[in-house]
Amino acid sequence: MKALRRFLSRLGHFVTRRRDDERLRQEIEEHIAMQTAENVRAGLTPIESRRQAMLKFGGVEAMKQDYRAERDLLFVENLLGDLRNAGRSISRMPGLAAVIIISLAIGIGVNTTIFSWIQMILFQPMPAVTGASNFLLVEPRSDTAGYPGASWLEYRDLQTHVPALRDIVASQMMPFNVGRPGQTERTHGQLVSGNFFSALGLKPAVGRFIRPEEAERPGTESVVVISYDYWQTRFRGAPEAIGQNLRVNDRELIVVGVAPKDFQGTTPPLKFELWVPATMTPALLGGTRDLEDRTSRGFSLIGMLRAGATRQEAQSELSTTMAQLARDYPEASAGFGGEILSFREAPRGPQRLLISGLAILQGVMLLLLLAVCGNTANLMLARGSTRQREMAVRVALGAGRWRIVSLVLSENMLLAVLGAGLGAAFAVWGTTALRIAPMIGAFPILFPTKVDQFTLAFAIVLGVACGLIFSAAPAVHLARLDPQDALRSGSNTSQRSRGRKVLMGVEVGLAMVVLIAAALFLQSFHSARQTDPRFRPEGVLLAAYDLSGRNPDDASEREFAARLLERLRSLPDVEAAAIATNVPVDLHGIPRRPFTVEGRVRAEPGQDRAISNTVTPGYFNVMGIPLLEGNDFADMRDKAAPAQAIVNEEFVRRYLNRADAIGRRLQTRSQSFAIVGVARDSAYDALGEPPQPAMYFSYRDRPAEQGEIHLRTRSGSESALTAEARDVLRDLDPMLALYDVRTFSQHIERNLYLRRIPARMFVVLGPLLLGLAAIGIYAVVSYAVARRTREIGVRLAFGATSGRVVLQIIRENLAAITRGTAVGWLLALVISFHVVPNGPVNFPVFLGVPAILLSVATLACWIPARRASRIDPVEALRHE
Amino acid sequence: MKQKTDVLQGTLALMVLKTLDVLGPLHGYGIARRIEQISGDLLAVNQGTLYPVLLKLEQEGAIASEWGASENNRRARFYRLTRNGRKQLQVETKDWEQTAAIIGRFFDAKAEDLS
C-alpha cells in the first residue's frame, strides 16, 4: 500500500514533470540561515557561523541526489534515455541494423504464419462461432466400425438423454446438385438439426435461420440457408435473395436466410454453402429412409456443456445412454459405445492430418529463428566489443553494471521489437496469401486463418525472447568489463573470442540442420515430380459423378456405370474409358482394407492390410498398367462369372512368396473373390514411394454410388473431352453434374500443393540462412583480425608471408565452424532416421550441404583474413 | 575517539515521526535540532540527510507539509503528522519496543540461565 502510494506520487511527478528543486533549495537556505543565526547567538563570528552551519548540514549535492532518487521514477527516466540512445546508435549502423531487423522479421514472420494455422486448428475450430473450442464432439464408437457417426434416431435419443450437454447439434455433409436440369452445379451443404444455428449462437446476416419445428416433420418445410459467400456470388448480395427459390436436387427450396460472414460450417477447413433441415433428406435424396434407419450413421454431433456440468458427467451419461440403445436396438447399436471428445481430439477429418505436419514445420522454423538469434548475438558481440572503450569510460565514471546491461539490452530490444513488428506484417501478408488455396480434391476447402491478437502476441513474445537471447552474451560481456584493462590499449583476452567462436559454431550447426532438412525436402519434392509413376497420366482426363442424390441400389449403380462407359467409349476421340472409386496420388490417400488370402498364414497377431481400389474392366488399359499374368475383369453385364480380384506384384511377393497367384481365393469383409490377374506395381499414395501391396476389385461385384471417370484421349488434348463427357452424363440423367473435372497431370500437381508451400518456404529460407551464417562468420573473423592487427604486423615484420597469415586465421576459425558443422550434421542424420526410419541415407544431400556450407564459411573467413594480411607492417605496429 | 553511531534510515524516520508527535508541526531545522538534543550529541548526523527522509515520509502519506512563518518570522516549510503517520508511529513504536525487549533479554541472559 505504502509502496503503491509512493509509486503514484513518483509517477505523478514523472508525468507532470513538476520540478520542485526550487522548494528544496529554499528549504536548505532557510535551514542554514537558522543554524547560522543560532551559532551567532552562541557567540561565533557571522562568517564562522555560516561555515559551521554548512559543515553541519553536510554535502548539499549528494543530498540533492538522494532527494531526487527519492522523488523521481529514475528507472523510467533511464529507460527513456536508453531508448533514445539506442535509437541513435542504431541509426549510426543502418546496414547492420537492416540485416538484423530483416532476418529477424523473416524468422518471426514465418513462425507467426505457421502459428496462426496451428492456433486456428486448436483454438478457433469454427470461424464466426464465438467460443467454438468449448464445443465437444459426441462420437458413437465401436471396435469394429471405428467412429462412423450417429444415426438420426440415435441423435434424437442422445438429445434428451445427455442432460449435461445443452443443445446437441447434428449435421451431415452432403453434396447437392443445384440448378435447373441440364445445368446443375455440384455444391456442398450440410443437412442440419433444427437447433443448428441457435445452438451455435449465430445471427443471420439477412433473413432468418431454420426454425426448430422445420426439422421435426419430414419433408414439409422446403427451406434453405445459404452462406454469405454464396449470397454474394450467386445473388450479388441482394436482399431480395430472401424468398427466392433455389433448385436443389431437382426440388425447389426457399432461401430464408443468409449465414453470417466467414461462417463455413462445423467441419473446417471444409467450406459449405447450403444448410438444409435434416428432415428434408428423403425429399432431396430420392425418398431415402435413412432418417428412420438406425444403421444409417452419418451425422456428426457436437454440443456444449451445460453450466456447471463436467465432461465426466457428459461422458458417463453418454455411456449409459449408448448402453441402453445397444440393448434396445441390438441389430443397429450392439457393440457401440460413445466418446466425448474435444475438437482437437477429432478422430476423423482434415484437421488431424494437418496438425502434425504443421508441428514439424514449426519446430524447424523455430530452429531457424534460433540460428538468426545466434547470428545477431555474434554481430552485436563483435560490435559491442568495439565499444569496449566507450563502456569502460562509462563504468569508470560510475555507471553501475545494471546501467550498462540495460543500455545494451535496450538497444537490442529495440532491434528485436522492430524485427517483430516487421515480422507480424510479413505474417499478415503470408496468411492472406495462404488463405487463397484452391479447392483441394473433391472438397471445397478454405483455411480461415488470420492474424489476430493471439498471433500478434506470439510474434511479440518471439521478438522479446529473441532480444533477450541475443542480448545476453554482449550484455554479460560488457558488464564484466574491467575499465582499467579495457582502457589500456591493445588488450585482448582469449576467453572472449572463444565465446564468440562457440556461438559461431552453434550457429553454423543450426544452419546445417535446417539446410539439410530443406535440401531433403526439396529433393523429395523434386524427385517426386520426376519419378515415373509407373502408370501413364499423360492424356487422361478425370471427372467424378455422384448418384447419392438418386438413392440408387447396387443394380442401378452397376447399370449406370455400364451405360456410361458404353456411351463414353463410343465418343470418337476416346481411346479407352474406365471408372474407379479411387484415383492414385490423391491427397486423401487410398483406403486400405484388411484381407485374408489362400496360402498365407500370418505368424504375428493382427490383420494384413492392402490398398484397395474398385475399378471397371478396361481400367488397366486406360492407366497404362500392364497385366503381367491372367486377364482383366469380366464384362460389367456378365452375371455368370464369380467375384473377381486382381492383385499387384508386391502383393504376390509379400503375401504369396512369389507363388502363382491366379485362382487363389481372397477374402475381405466376409466376401470371397477369385484372383484372376496380377498387375504391375505402380504409385498409389505418392510418386516415388516404395512398392505397396494392392488389390483391385471389380465394379461389377462391388458397385458404388460415386465414381471417378478415367478417359484416355486419342488426340492427346485430354481437356478437349470435357464438354463431350458432360453431355454424355446429362443425357443419361439431367439432374447429375459432372464435377471435379481435371487432367491427370493437374490432379497430381494439385495434390502436391500442400507440399509445395513448405517447399517454397525452404527455397527462400535456405539461401537466406546460408547468407546469415556467412555474414555471422564474416563479422566474427573480421572483428577478431582487427583486434590482432598489431600481432599480425609483428609477424609480417618478422618475415611471415601473407599467405601463411591468411592460412592460420582461416585454420583457427574453421576449427570452430567444423565442430559446429559436425554436430549439426549428426543431429540432422538422427532426425532423418527418426522421420524416415529404415529409409536410405540421402548421400548427395548429406555430403553436398556440408560441402557448400564449409566453402561458404571458408570464403567468409578468407575475405577479412586476406584484408588483414595485406596490411603494411609499419602501419600495423603504429595501430593503437 | 569514540565513533559516532550510524543512523539507519528507518530509525531516522521513526525519530522524525516521534518528534512531530510530541512537538506538533515543525520545520526541518527544528526537527534536526530536536533529534540532536534528545540523542545528547551522541548521534550527529549530517542534517542534510534529513530531507530525503522527509520526502519519503511525505510520499508515503505519513506526514504533510506546507509553507509557514517560523518563530523569528522567516519563511519555512512546516511538517506535521497525518492520521496515517500517527498510526504508523504506534505500530512502529510497538515493534521497536518488542525488538528492544528481546535484544535486552539476550544481553541479560547469563550462561546459567540457559542450562
A454 and A576 co-located in one domain? no
Contact B52 A30 (CB under 8 A): no
Task: State how far residue A15 is from chain B, nearest Cα, in angstroms.
Answer: 16
- Strand A644-648 relative to strand A671-679, pairing: parallel
The fold of B9-110 is Arc Repressor Mutant, subunit A (1.10.10)
Contact B77 A67 (CB under 8 A): no
Q: Does A67 touch chain B (CB under 8 A)?
A: yes
Contact A71 B77 (CB under 8 A): no
**For residues A369 and A111, is the Cβ–Cβ distance under 8 A?**
yes
Question: pLDDT category, A491, cuts 50, 70, 90?
Answer: very low
Contacts of A59 in chain B (CB under 8 A): 46, 48
Q: Is the peptide bond before A269 cis (omega within 30 degrees of 0)?
A: yes
Higher pLDDT, A366 or B72: A366
Q: Does A18 touch chain B (CB under 8 A)?
A: no
State what percent of residues in chain B have pLDDT above 70. Answer: 83
For A371, the grid coordinates are: 540460428
Structural domain count of chain A: 5
Q: Is the pLDDT of residue B4 over 50?
A: no
A447 and A461 co-located in one domain? yes
**Which residues of B have a CB under 8 Å from any CB of A?**
27-29, 32, 46-49, 51-52, 55-56, 59-61, 70, 72, 74-77
Say which residue the cell 473446417 belongs to. A268
Find the angle CA(A592)-CA(A597)-CA(A601) to the nearest 5 degrees.
105
Task: State how far residue A393 is from chain B, nearest Cα, in angstroms.
Answer: 30
Task: State how far residue A394 is from chain B, nearest Cα, in angstroms.
Answer: 27
A314 and A419 co-located in one domain? no
A605 and A724 co-located in one domain? yes
State what percent of residues in chain A have pLDDT above 90. Answer: 21
CA-CA distances (angstroms) from residue A81 to A65, A84, A444, B53? 18, 5, 55, 27
Q: Summarize pLDDT for A288-335 with one digit per residue, the tens.
A: 777 888 888 888 899 999 888 899 999 999 999 999 999 998 888 888
- Nearest CB neighbour to B55, from listed A30, A62, A67: A67
Answer whether residue A541 is part of any domain.
no
Q: Is the pLDDT of residue A839 over 70?
A: no
**For residues A711 and A718, is the Cβ–Cβ distance under 8 A?**
yes
Answer with the one of A735, A763, A792 that is the final residue of a domain.
A735
Q: What ipTM was predicted for this assembly?
A: 0.81
Contacts of A62 in chain B (CB under 8 A): 48
Burial class (CB in 10 A: 0-12, 13-18, 19+), A659: exposed
Rounded CA gap, A645 and A364, in Å?
45
**For residues A137 and A343, is the Cβ–Cβ distance under 8 A?**
yes
Answer whether residue A764 is part of any domain.
yes
* Long-range CB contacts for residues A84-93, cutoff 8 Å, separation at least 24: A85/A407, A85/A410, A85/A411, A86/A407, A86/A410, A86/A411, A86/A413, A86/A414, A87/A414, A89/A411, A90/A411, A90/A414, A90/A415, A93/A383
Burial class (CB in 10 A: 0-12, 13-18, 19+), A776: buried
- Nearest CB neighbour to A24, from listed B47, B51, B76: B51
Rounded CA gap, A870 and A410, in Å?
38
Say what the pLDDT of residue A439 is.
47
Contact A63 B75 (CB under 8 A): no
A700 and A756 co-located in one domain? no
A568 and A689 co-located in one domain? yes
> Which residue ranges make up each domain of chain B?
9-110
Answer whether residue A612 is part of any domain.
yes
Task: State how far residue B45 is from chain A, nearest Cα, in angstroms.
Answer: 8
Count contacts between A and B (CB, < 8 Å). 72
Q: Does A56 touch chain B (CB under 8 A)?
A: yes
For A384, the grid coordinates are: 559491442
Name the amino acid, one letter, at A527. S
Give the contacts of A518 (CB within 8 A, at least 6 positions apart).
A762, A763, A765, A766
A864 and A766 co-located in one domain? yes
A357 and A380 co-located in one domain? yes
Strands (E) in A602-738, as ranges, are 608-615, 627-630, 644-648, 665-668, 671-679, 694-698, 706-713
- Nearest CB neighbour to B51, from listed A2, A37, A67: A67
Supply the mean pLDDT for chain B. Answer: 79
Question: pLDDT category, A381, cuts 50, 70, 90?
Answer: confident
Say what the pLDDT of residue A644 is.
94
Answer whether residue A339 is part of any domain.
no
Q: 3-state DSSP call for residue A445?
A: strand
- Nearest CB neighbour to B52, from listed A10, A59, A63: A63
- Nearest CB neighbour to A31, from listed B28, B59, B60: B28
Contact A57 B56 (CB under 8 A): no
A339-360 mean pLDDT: 72
State what percent of residues in chain A have pLDDT above 70. Answer: 88
Task: State how far residue A72 is from chain B, nearest Cα, in angstroms.
Answer: 11
Contacts of B32 in chain A (CB under 8 A): 31
Rounded CA gap, A290 and A296, in Å?
6
Least confident segment among A329-343, A592-606, A627-641, B33-47 = B33-47
In 3D, which of A131, A151, A147, A129 has the Cα closest to residue A139? A147
Contact B52 A69 (CB under 8 A): yes
Residues spanned by the domain of A593: 548-735
Answer whether residue A683 is part of any domain.
yes
Answer whether residue A802 is part of any domain.
yes
Contacts of A33 in chain B (CB under 8 A): 74
Q: Does A22 touch chain B (CB under 8 A)?
A: no
Contact B29 A28 (CB under 8 A): no
Strand partners, A304: A135, A166
A448 and A579 co-located in one domain? no
A528 and A622 co-located in one domain? no
Rounded CA gap, A175 and A189, in Å?
6
Least confident segment among A463-467, A687-691, B93-97 = A687-691
A378 and A428 co-located in one domain? yes
Task: State how far residue A60 is from chain B, nearest Cα, in angstroms.
Answer: 7
**pTM listed for this prediction:** 0.61
**For residues B23 and B34, is the Cβ–Cβ distance under 8 A?**
yes
A93 and A188 co-located in one domain? no
